Structure 1
Amino acid sequence: MIHYSILPLEAVMDNMEAVEQSQTVEIAINGVTMQVQPMNGHQAMIVRLLSCNPQDFLNPQYAPGRMIEFQPVLQG
Structure 2
Amino acid sequence: MIIYSVMPMEMIMKNLDSTEYQYQEAEIEGVKMLVEPVPHSTEVKIVRLMSPNPQDYLNPKYMPGQTIHFRPEISHS
TM-score (norm 2): 0.68
Identity of aligned residues (%): 43
Report the CA distance between 1:16 and its aligned residue: 6.7
The normalised TM-score by structure 1 is 0.69
Higher helix share: 1
What 5-or-longer segments of structure 1 have no aligned partner? 7-13
Q: Hey, which bits of structure 1, 4+ residues long, moved more than 3 A?
A: 14-18
For residue 74 of structure 1, give the secondary structure of its aligned residue in structure 2: coil
State the AA in 2 paired with 1:25.
Answer: Q
Q: Does the residue aligned with 1:61 lie in a helix, a strand or coil?
A: helix
Change (3 A) 1:74 1:64: same
**Can you give the 5+ residue segments of structure 2 that lack an aligned partner in the other structure?**
3-12
User: What's the counterpart of residue 73 of structure 2?
Assistant: 73
User: What is the RMSD of the two structures over their aligned residues, measured on CA atoms?
Assistant: 2.2
Q: How many residues align?
A: 65
The structure whose Rg is larger is 2
1:12-57 Cα shifts (integer Å, max 9, x gaps): xx75774xx4110111111100000001341110000000000000
In the other structure, the counterpart of 2:25 is 26
